[in-house]
Amino acid sequence: MLRSICGLIFCLLPALAYTAESSNPANEQLVLSFSRDLDQSFRSGTLTKDVAGIATRYLREDFIEHRAGEASGRQAFIDSHLRIGAHITPNPNYEFARVVEIMSKGDRVILLTHRDHNPANPSQNLDLYIFNMYRIENGQVAEHWEAMSTPLN
């Protein structure tokens, strides 16, 4: 019995070591902070005031956006969120996106979140799962991919 357990542990050690080495908690925290800061700006209605600072802190200037219909670059991100922010008012009942899962490997971070309401239109009830993948370079987001279970209006 002891021999079987030792054999199992010996077989699993390389897989456990690989998993531990491949995750990147610093990159995961960067993505969580970026997401939380954007959500807080939506909640407080200060997106137009905050977005340039958030983008400068978290996004590379040459940031690549892979979401359909969105332009790449830090300034394009700012411009897009300024347009969105023009329609946002403070909402103390705004619900932050719930983190379902976050995982990383090397320079990639995958964040799966869930929303019950559209942040741009809180009266719109949703059952929305959002898949985001980020590539991190030198402590900033270099690329972003996104897919949603339900499109936002």
Q: Give the residue, 150 or 77, on which the prediction is more confident.
A: 77
Give the domain ranges of the chain.
23-148
pLDDT tens-digit readout, 41-96: 988 999 999 999 999 999 999 999 999 889 999 999 999 999 988 888 888 777 88
Q: SS in 3 state form for 58-109? A: HEEEEEEECCCCCCCCHHHHHHHHHHHHCCCCCCCCCCCCEEEEEEEECCEE
Longest dimension (CA), the chain: 67
pLDDT tens-digit readout, 102-140: 999 999 999 999 988 776 666 777 788 999 999 999 999
Q: Rg of the Cα trace of the chain?
A: 19
Its pTM surpasses 0.75: yes
CA distances from 40 to 9, 44, 52, 119 (A): 44, 6, 14, 11
The CATH number of the structural domain formed by 23-148 is 3.10.450.50
